[in-house]
Structures are given as structure tokens and as C-alpha cells.
Amino acid sequence: MAQQSSNNSDDADATELETVEVVGSRIKRSNIEGPSPVVVITAEQIEREGFSTVHDAIESLAANTGSVQNDFNSAGGFTPNAGVVNLRGLGPGRTLLLINGRRANDYPFPYNGRSNFQNFNNIPAGAVARIEVLAGGASAIYGSDAVAGVVNVVLKKDYEGDMISIKGTTTQAGGASTMDLQWTGGKVWDGGSLTYAFEHYNRSPLFAWQRDFMDSAEDNPYPALIPGVGNVYQPPIGIQVRVQGVPTAGSYIMPFGANCQGSDLYQRFTYRSTASGVVLGDGCGYDRYPAEQTVVNGQKDSSGYLYGNLDFSDTVSGWASLMFFHSDAELGGGVEQWFGLRPNVAHYDPNLGLRVLAIRALTPETYGGPEGTFQKFTEDSWDFAAGLRGTFGDRFDWDFTVSHAEYKVERTRPRMTIQGAADYFLGPQLGVTGSGAYAGIPGMPNGVPVFATRWDRFFGPISAADYWTMATQVEYDAKSENSGAQFVVSGDMFELPGGTSAFAAVAEWSTQSYRLNSDERILPTVASIYNLTGTGGGGDRDRYAFGVETSFPIFSMLTITAAARYDKYDDITNVDDAITWNGGIEFRPFDNLLIRGAYATSFKAPDMHYVFSERSGSFGQIVDYVRCARDGIAPTGCSGAGAVYNYQAFTTSEGQPGLKEETGRSWSAGLVWDITDQLSFSADYYDIELEDEVAVLSGTTILSDEYGCRNGVSVNGAPFPYAPGSAYCAEILNRLDRDPLNDDRLTEIRSGPINQAYRRVKGIDASLSYGWDTDNWGNFRARIDWSHTLEQILIQRAGDTPFSYRDDNGNVDFRSRVRVTMGWSKDDWDATVFVNRYGSQPRWILSHPDVVSGELDDRAPPHTTVNLSIGRQWTENLSMRLNINNVFDDVSPEDRTFNTYPYFWRAYSPLGREFGLTIAYKF
């Protein structure tokens, strides 16, 4: 908001501003705006806008346009209990989290099993004074990772008194109820102070089946097309027996009169081929299968914060802080599915005389109820820092800090074992085809395992006791540590026509390490847990750095800033050192107008898990373009060609010590204009470039490039840029294993991190603030923040043609976001309306008839939610606040082409309308 002054007297026209240090600079300054735009969210905003956690507040930022994993879409992933942000869509690991200006410790588990990041969920909301966000390169100030931006969470200091608040929330549709208890207090005395904050947060989980718009696969608005029949819904597989090696027709059987009595959630259904339309046979459908997962985690979090300072003399003081966090969380990644001795491995049943692939999806009663499916997390973290600060020479400040942080996580999850499930469903192995009693079977390949399937168990009910005869608890644990020391000196240098020049110099040392221990039974070398693999790894790294920052007020209208930093790394990578610098300009031709610009270089050392991860693996759905081409199916139709070409495949990955550091450049230019005393406007253009970006060469890319290397054209029909005999094609083909005894089915895809060539993002940020004070109607405030991505460009491999992906149908980053806050206050009352607008998203299926005909646009419409908050100060000590989040109960924009569960994009919240009441008492 524009600064406003009192008009009651001539003496009150000037407002003295406190000299403070803000994110993006270590120089203490009184200017509200500098060369780079900074967004500030206050503790009062967090409360009034309807947020309960730090992560929720940061997620609402207009610059947070990138897609990320959340509770909704990561239950089966590696970091489902962590909160991340993705500024500018450049990735969570490229936004640096600071707490009171210090680098936060990494979350022990890697994001998506790949890269390191900081968790925004473990910061006690009751301790937050404000959140400062700089969306742009700041490596010259803070070092590695500050590529897309910096988030500095400033915790409370010098607090006087005590306040206890309790907030309860519930959703209109049920589930995900919360209770948040906070106690914030402190004491200030002559020469010192103590501030403390404690919080307990409790939230119940929410299952997908608790929402009627996503409780069944039958909610699919666009089921698969069956030739000759039309778009017809077929339920997900509950139980199915597929005969292998025979014509498609009649290939699903129900042996020996079996039925779907295994669970009330199954129903008999006659399936058809989505490739040919022929009848395949009967199986047991399971409508609720995809809805068995949780979409909101259950959490019990306890956290605390202590900060104290003591003046030793007029020039020297000491301080110390401690932040700690404990969390017990639970979430469900859905029920398990057994599909063969090993995933997609068929067996020969001598009682049937057939080779079959038997599939059985488990149901909640198998686990003793939905809660039996839960994965459980226990997290403990603490961060201690202490330091001395003082002044010398009347104009210099110094600050020496030492710190240590640790973060530990333990995770458990129930899972079938390969041997346990085989014993339960199949019994002892009788041999292999082509040998002994099973030699010479007509049309039967050799080497197929032979089992007399226990069909009564396969089709019958499975109790919790039965389940635990074939299952176990899989256990993981991880730990990260970070220790450091920092010395900062800042102050005034010499006089210039525009004022006093200033500087800050910093020297840093830090050492960090992590260790991820996955259950050895899920490692690729063991693989005894059914359809589950994992990652392990660990390493350490030391860093030394020195930086200088300066500010020169050349004359009253012009200030120039500059910074440079040297970072030295000591680890096993090829990263030795890095030098970054930035420069900024502030031009004030009038008192109410600032024209600004900044240029910065940045770098990011390869994430430790990209370097130190052990060989890991995962199962995922793939599209086998090469098999489609072999059978005369065009690549554009391969994803809908059926299970022969779309199946689960095993992908492995491991760390690469030879990775280089990422380097970047960014610049911004804009203005801040206080149009009137009540109205202020700002707009900034940004341009961020990143070279040698580290990313995982995905299985999808490897498979599409395998097609290109074998056929000379890309899957989209364009010429493939690499010749079949090129070194690149040799590398791609070397990353794939196929089984000639199983119809050339893929058995392993070897993925891994690589340095990509280039990425560039351009866009505009703008904000408009207005304040209006009245005598009779109260005071009004409004602010609009808008961020719009103009261009996103990627060159994945050297020599590729630049690819503009902003409007690509596979890009689910939001092109724009808007946040609006409108507030009113009068006497003891206040009210706030918060509006959060997400930009449009691509249609899920561009070939949908309604898109092709023009009835639907090629993008789904924007999505807007509204939160309402009303508060009253009842007495000097007692206040209350009512929050209604998502007032209009609008979950997501409609996209009737979205045929993948949950049938809308998972960035949107499934909570619906939510009510909350906060009671606070000061004493």
C-alpha cells in the first residue's frame, strides 16, 4: 500500500521509516521499494485471508504458477507429507527458503524421488511475523538455489504479553476437519527480550470416496471409445483373468464357475476391447478402486519457537533461537493390485491348460478398513542458531551467527511381498513349461512358470488376517543435517550527492549431509516387495562463500546497487566454484514514482540426491510406441490401443557425480507509482534464463526417442533430429531392455539425471493497491496481484530446436494467477474477502469431438475461489473470527474431456466449502 501520512498537523506530514533488512538485500535500508519487486504477506493477512499454515499462504502467491505434488497427487510418491512451492514453474528446488534470513535445512526425502528441497509445512504459523518473497535470481546474495526466487519467513521478536487462540474448521461435505491451538507470548525488559510460540495442529484425513464428484470411476465424463459401440464406461479391474497367447475374443474367463463374491465393491461385468470392439469376456469391476486414496493427509503437528536477546553493552548484544517440529501424519495411497507372479508376468495353470495373467485389486476390508491402507510418517526437526551482533565506529553493524539444524523422518507402509502373494494366490511352483511334465505343450513358449492357481482364494473374500500372511510393513528413514557459520558487516561508506553510500559484506561456511535408508527389500537388487521399488543414497558437501553488496545514491533521483559473491564447493561433483553478481537501478524522477531495473546471474549446484542417489526403481504406466509401430498402429493412436501397448513398466535411475552446475541469468524492469495518497500501482517485466538445467531423462522421453531412432520420425510426425546410428540413438537404445520371450515387452527403462541445455521463462507481474478512509463507513483496503507468463522455452538436448511449451497441451503450469484482497474495518469489526484466480488449463484430450467441432475451447476456463473472513474485537482481550473458505463451493472448472481420475486437474482442492471459527484471548 502507498504510505499515508496524517493531515492533522503540519508536523505530521513526514513518516519516519524504520531501517530494516528485507529479503533480496543484506543492506539495512529505509526504502520501502528497491530495484527488485518484493511481495510481503503479514501474519494478519494469513489469518484474514483464511489460511492455517505457512505453506497455504505461500501457495496463494500470484508468482506460484508451477505445478507441484500435494496431498492430492503424491500419496504414492516419495514426499507426500511435505509442502513445496514452484515459483515461475522452474521447479521446487529452485526456490530458496530462508527462516529469519538463514537457509533452511533440506527435507530428508527427495522430491519425487529425485531432487532436494525445503519443506514449507514445518514452520509454526503462530510464530510468523511476515513472509517476504522475491521472485527472481538472488544467488549473488544467498548463493545456490536462489534461481526462481527467495522466500524469507520472518519470525516474531520482541513480543510483549501472551495470546492463546484456537481455531476449528470443518468442511460442508465432511472430512478434513482441523483444530489449531496456538500460544504466542513474550516479555520485553530493559536490555533484553524473550519471545515464544507453541502450536498444535490436528487435521483428519479425507478419502476421495467422501466426495460424490470423485467417489467412483463412473464419474468419468468421457469413457473410452469402443469401436462399433461408442464411448462406453467400463469399470476398473477388480478381478480379471486374462488368457495369454490366444485371439483377443474370449480372452477373459471366470474359471470353474467363479463369481465376484470377494467383496460387495465388486460387480460382474462383460468387457470389450477398446482397440477392436470385440467382447473379451467377464470380470469383476471395481468402481471405487481409484477413490480409495486420501486426498488430504491426516496430521498431528506440534511445533515451537523460542527467541531471546540480551544486551551486553551499548554496542554488543547476543541472541539465540530454537525452532522445533514434530509430526505424526497418515495418508492412503490407495489399495494394492496383484497382477501376476511379478507385475505383468503370466503363469501356466495345468488345471486350465492355459497361460493366464490373473489380476486382483484389493478392497478396504482386506486391510481391516480404509485406515489399514495408511502410510505413516513421523517427522522431527529442530533448528538452533545463536549469535552476537554489535556496532563499531558509529556507522558499522556486524553480526556473527552459528547454527545447526537436523531433520529426521520415518515412514512405514503396508505392502504385499512377491513371495507372500504368490504363496497365497498360486501355491507352490510346479515347474516351468518346456521342462519335465510340461514340455512340448503346443503353442506354449518355454520358461513360463507353472502353478495350480488357488482360485477359491483368488476370487474369494480376503480378511485382514489373510492379508498379513502375504504382506509386511515397508520401512524407510531419512535424515538431513546442516551446520554453518556466518559473519556479516554492513554500514555506511562515504557521502554522495544523493546521500550516503552503503555496503554489506558476508563470509559463510556450511556443511550439509543427508542419508536416505530405504527398506532393502524394495531396492532393485532385491525387489522382494510386490510392485514397489525405492531409492537410497547419502552424501555430504562443504561450502565456503564470500560476498559484497553495495548501494550508491548517485544523486537524489538515482541509486545504483551492485553485489558479487564467490562460492567454493567441496564434494565429489565437477562443481568447484561459482561467481555470481547482480546490479540494480532505482530512478525516482518524482517523489511518487520509482522506475527500477535489475540484472542478476545465478547458479545452482546439482541437488545432492541427483549426485549421491543409489540405483532405484519405480513402476509406472508407459506407452510402447515401438510395439505399436510393429503392429501397424500409428503413434497418435497408441495410447488408446489397449493393454498390449499400455502397461506398467519398470524404470530405474541413479545419481550422476559428473553433473555440472546450472547457471542462469535474469533481469527485470518496472515501475512503482503512487498515483495518489490512496492509490498505488506497480508493474514489472521479468526474463529468466537457465542453462545446463538438471532434470531426469524420463522414461516417456526415452520411449518416444526410441521410436524416433528406429523410424526416423518423432511420434508427432516431425523429422527426428538424430540419425539411427548416432551416438545419441545408441545411448537411448542402451537404456532399454525387452524380453523376446514375452512379446518384446519392456522389462527395464534406465532413466537418470542429465544437464538439459536451456530453459527460459518470461512474464509480467503487476499489482494495484487502494486505501480509502471514511469517518462514517470505516476504512477500506484493496490489493490486486497479477502474474502472467508470456513465454516458456525449452531446449532439452543440445542441437534440438527450441520448443515453446507455454501453450503446449502437456504443460500444466498455470499461465496466469491473480490474488485479490479486499478489506474493511470500523471500530471493533473487520471483514476481508480474498479471491484466488487460477488461469486456464489445456483440455485433457484435444481430440475430443466437442473440441474438434469448436463447441469447446482448446483450454478449460479459469478457476476462481473466494474466501470470506469476519472478525470482531469483543473486549480488550477477547476477539473472534469467522472464516468461510470457498464460499461458492466451486471445486474446479468443468472439463468434460478429462477422462483420467479424478477427472479434473489435481492442483485444485477437493475440499469444497469450509467453515472456520477462531477465538483468541490476550492476557
For the ranges 227-236, 351-360, 431-440, 650-659, the lowest mean pLDDT is seen at: 650-659
Indicate whether 113 pLDDT > 70: no
Q: What is the pLDDT of residue 126?
A: 87
Q: Which three cell numbers stand for residue 463?
A: 480378511
Three-class SS state of 707: helix
Decide if 357 contacts 346 (C-beta within 8 A).
yes
The closest alpha carbon to 690, from 125, 145, 304, 235, belongs to: 145
Q: Give tens-digit pLDDT for 122-178.
A: 888 889 999 999 887 888 888 888 888 899 999 999 999 999 999 999 999 999 999
Q: Which residues of 215-228 are buried (b: 16+ CB within 10 A; e: fewer)?
A: bbbebbebbeebee
Q: What is the pLDDT of residue 474?
A: 96
pTM: 0.88
Secondary structure E strands in 146-203 = 149-155, 161-171, 178-189, 192-203
Beta bridge partners, 97, equal 151
Alpha helices in 766-873 (DSSP H): 849-852
Residue 513, judged by CB atoms within 10 A of its CB (0-12, 13-18, 19+), counts as middle
Indicate whether 361 pLDDT > 90: yes
Q: What is the mean pLDDT of the chain?
A: 90
Question: Is pLDDT larger for residue 801 or for residue 458?
Answer: 458
- What number is the average pLDDT over the span 787-803? 86
Indicate whether 10 pLDDT > 50: no
Decide if 465 contacts 445 (C-beta within 8 A).
no
Q: Which residues of 12-26 are buried (b: 16+ CB within 10 A; e: fewer)?
A: eeeeeeeeebbbbbb
Residue type, 869: S
Indicate whether 744 pLDDT > 60: yes
- What number is the average pLDDT over the span 322-339? 95
Beta-carbon count within 10 A of 828 CB: 11
Q: What is the pLDDT of residue 24?
A: 59
CA 207/CA 100 separation, integer angstroms? 37
CA 77/CA 111 separation, integer angstroms? 9
Per the rule left: phi > 0, alpha: psi between -120 and 50, beta: everything else, 433 is: beta
**What is the pLDDT confidence band of residue 77, given thresholds at 50, 70 and 90?**
low
CA 86/CA 142 separation, integer angstroms? 18
- What number is the average pLDDT over the span 378-385? 96
Residue type, 367: Y
**What is the pLDDT confidence band of residue 34, given thresholds at 50, 70 and 90?**
confident
Express as a percent the part of the chain with pLDDT over 90: 69
**What is the pLDDT confidence band of residue 30, given thresholds at 50, 70 and 90?**
very low
Decide if 704 contacts 732 (C-beta within 8 A).
no
Express as a percent the part of the chain with pLDDT over 70: 95
**What is the pLDDT confidence band of residue 242, given thresholds at 50, 70 and 90?**
very high
Q: What is the pLDDT of residue 21?
A: 54
